[in-house]
Amino acid sequence: MFNSDFGSYNFSKSLWLLFFNRIFHLVGSGLMGLFLPIFLFVKFDYSYYPVIIYFFFSFLITIFALPFGAMVMSKITIKKSMIVATFFLVIYYFSFYLFENYGWFYLLIIFLVSINCWRVLYWVPFHTDFIKFTQKKHLGLKYSVFRLTNDLFGIIVPIMAGLILSYYNYSVLFIISMVITLASILPLFFIKKNTEKYSYKYLETYKILFDKKHRKMFFAYMSDGAETIVGGVIWPIFIFGILNGEYLAVGAVSSIIVGMTVILDLVMGGVSEKVDKKHIIKYSSIFYAIGWLIKIFVNTAFQIFIVSTYHNLTSIFRRIPFDALMYEKAADQGHYVDEYTVLREISLCIGRVLMLAVVALLIYIFDVYVAFILAAVISLFINVLE
């Protein structure tokens, strides 16, 4: 019943179930994704520094916790790891609900513990399952379907969150996120059991990561993590300020921007299977970097819309081939697919931590615009991936 064709490509039952799991996750976490940095920004008296410090320590912990998560996955299976991880994400949102209503600062410890348990128990299993359930030959197309699904919900979710915050408050948003995130567990019960054994020892993981032969991989993923953290933390707060703290305006503009770019996701999936991915990444990354530089001059809602639409368009030409290439390289590892994924995730987190540290230092000397310049420069380094 679940076997279906997209064009001439077969999607297995387990792959569809994995997609459904992500859909629930996308809606649940998507309601918070854009507004979580803004929530912290407002709570900490409209200062960038506490927000940056929070995310800095959050991802710093992830760097050292990821191998442990992979080891736990090996013990309890991929399916159970993702299920347990989801409960931690629910705890994470519940902690924010308590923080909103009671302001207990010790909850910051629960934030850091719960979100890290989710990251290390969910993402490596998810990527491993996605690769195992997908034929390498059609990774580009199937990843584009995943991206298309992501963007379709990305049209609806930000404006939904904006409406909830305009008419209610963050407490209601946290509760809705908890319920939807909890529902994401249901498809996981029916996914095919996939047992992977993480073969690296703890310290061996980092020794291999920093080995000379993995240097280009490390720098490519580190730069990806560094650039995306600016888009995920600094940019939402920046546009929140331009839009005068209007939650509905922030959500509406974000929804329209995603809607303008959604069709290209599917187009690029097919193109990425026919054209050399490295060439696409090379040229699109230049135009993408320019988008970051243009963002320096944004100061109206219309400019946010125009510049972000351009940036999203160039991101699609860069993102899909890059991620498809990543999945192909992981698939090439055979039984070491989970080990490769751990190395990638650590590299991403190192990039995020280093970028946040540099941004915290430089915005004190200059202004927040320096983060966009750094993102433009560092985004070009994904081209070193071979």
From first CA to last CA, the distance across the chain in angstroms is 39
pLDDT above 70: residue 340:
yes
pLDDT above 70: residue 365:
yes
Element containing residue 177 per DSSP (H, E): helix 170-183
Q: For the segment 76-132, what is each residue's pLDDT rounded down to a tens digit?
A: 999 999 999 999 999 999 999 999 988 777 888 999 999 999 999 999 999 888 888
pLDDT above 50: residue 214:
yes
Mean pLDDT of the chain: 86
Tokens at 362, concatenated = 């430089």
> Which residue type, as a one-letter code, is found at position 130?
F
Q: Is residue 6 domain-resident?
A: no
What domain range includes position 310? 21-192+202-384
Number of domains in the chain: 1
Instruction: Work out the burial of residue 349: count CB atoms within 10 Å of its CB; fewer than 13 is exposed, 13-18 middle, 19 or more buried.
Output: buried
Q: Is residue 360 domain-resident?
A: yes
Alpha carbon distance 352, 340 (integer Å): 19
pLDDT for 6 equals 43
Closest Cα partner for 209 from 57, 21, 112, 346?
Answer: 346
The DSSP code for 193 is P
β-pair partners for 5: 10
Q: Is residue 79 domain-resident?
A: yes
Instruction: Work out the burial of residue 166: count CB atoms within 10 Å of its CB; fewer than 13 is exposed, 13-18 middle, 19 or more buried.
Output: middle
Q: Please, which pLDDT band fits residue 354 given cuts at 50, 70 and 90? A: very high
**Higher pLDDT pick, 247 / 153:** 247
Alpha carbon distance 170, 152 (integer Å): 24
Count of Cβ atoms closer than 10 Å to residue 189 Cβ: 9
Element containing residue 5 per DSSP (H, E): strand 4-6
Closest Cα partner for 35 from 178, 248, 183?
Answer: 248
Q: Is residue 118 domain-resident?
A: yes
pLDDT for 205 equals 95
Q: Residue 57 sits in a domain of what CATH number?
A: 1.20.1250.20
Q: Is residue 249 domain-resident?
A: yes
Alpha carbon distance 345, 67 (integer Å): 10
| pTM, two decimal places | 0.90
pLDDT above 50: residue 4:
no
Q: Is residue 275 domain-resident?
A: yes
Q: Please, which pLDDT band fits residue 273 given cuts at 50, 70 and 90? A: low
Alpha carbon distance 107, 269 (integer Å): 42
Q: Is residue 364 domain-resident?
A: yes
Alpha carbon distance 305, 301 (integer Å): 6
The DSSP code for 9 is E
The DSSP code for 332 is T
Alpha carbon distance 94, 110 (integer Å): 10
Closest Cα partner for 355 from 207, 238, 224?
Answer: 224
Q: How many CA atoms lie within 13 A of 373 on its CB side?
A: 10
Q: Is residue 10 domain-resident?
A: no
Alpha carbon distance 286, 318 (integer Å): 9
